Structure 1
Amino acid sequence: MAGKAIAGSETKPERRMRADALRNRDRLIAVAAEVFADQGVEGSLEEVARCAGVGIGTLYRHFPTREHLVEVVYRRELQNLATAASDLAATHPADQALEEWMHRFVNYIAAKRGMAQSLRILLNCNSELFAESAGIISGALRQLMDNAAAKGMIRSDVESTDLLHALSSIYSMPDSPEWRERSRRLIRLLMDGLKWGVKMGPAD
């Protein structure tokens, strides 16, 4: 379910870190997510360290291998995506929460696309990570769809698995400069389809 802590996350070690070390680690993860999304996992670790404002030695103290960094970035992106479902549901109308979460899913896929090669390596030795991620993502989407359907904002006859497959098809789109704009148009089309034939219910 959305917002659920991911098993295997490193919350206990993080609590034991000094404040400055924890800040460095969090900054490295955030910068690595951007670099991997833009350049793939072969993006320069030296650039990650430089943009995070630390030395390369600090990066390797936190993340001994590139694959270790990729896995931690993947977990953080996944946790952010899961938490966003609950946050959006609490702060937006149900249909807007669903659409905004779909856009965030596109950003998640962008990061995952850049990490594809290393993620395939991780899959060979940690298949539980991927089974877990599938459950968290589908649970978050189901929550948002159920909320919107209960309020009469979208159709109730669409399975979350079907919508997730449609969203995941973005992953196979050619990686071009207009990729993000195309993905936005696709999400708009999906939302139009979810609302087709629905008479919007009264606002809460």
Structure 2
Amino acid sequence: MRFLALGDSYTIGEGVDESERWPVRLAALLRERGAAIGDPRIIARTGWTTDELSAAIDEADPRGPYALVTLLIGVNNQYRGRSTEEYRAEFAELLRRAIGFAGGEASRVVVLSIPDWGVTPFADGRDRAQIAAEIDAYNAINRDEARRAGARWVDVTGQSRDAGADVAFLVSDGLHPSGRAYAEWARLTLPEAVEALGPASAGAAPRPPG
């Protein structure tokens, strides 16, 4: 089965090895359950906003159907001070495209919430409460659009806030998540991914160790 992951720095895994990216970890967890799924095709880059991701998808021209599609985008819209109205329109269009890549099956699309970078050392001297409020507003939009479309939604924002400034959950730039954080994101996403894949993964016996 094929897996497409769309996003920005959080999906490409800025500062971590390829094996530590959360979509790669998620695919590994699915295989441990017996699902025959390959490593994800990732269309993501640090700094991308919704419109930049859309343009990159145009250039990459992925061809579905994919058994699983994930979408995590918006932090750079928030960071650049773009409006929630613009985010809603552009996110909804990206979600529509993601569903198309999933063969028109919205239940095979999993949206992840935007983590809160305001809790990290990178945000020192900034208005952390304002960042949190804006992240919450963006996440209310992506959650609402996901549910409206019939896609799945996973909250990783809580994990990011619980980890806070813990260096174990951050890479050296004091901003981006570490492999340990991404392992948690993969764990949180796993139940929805299992449901998205249906009988192809659910009920499969985990492989024995060794």
Q: TM-score range by the shorter chain?
A: 0.3 to 0.5
> Which structure has more strand as a fraction of its residues?
2
TM score, norm. by length of structure 1:
0.36
The normalised TM-score by structure 2 is: 0.35
- Between structure 1 and structure 2, the one with the greater Rg is 1
Structure number with higher helix proportion: 1
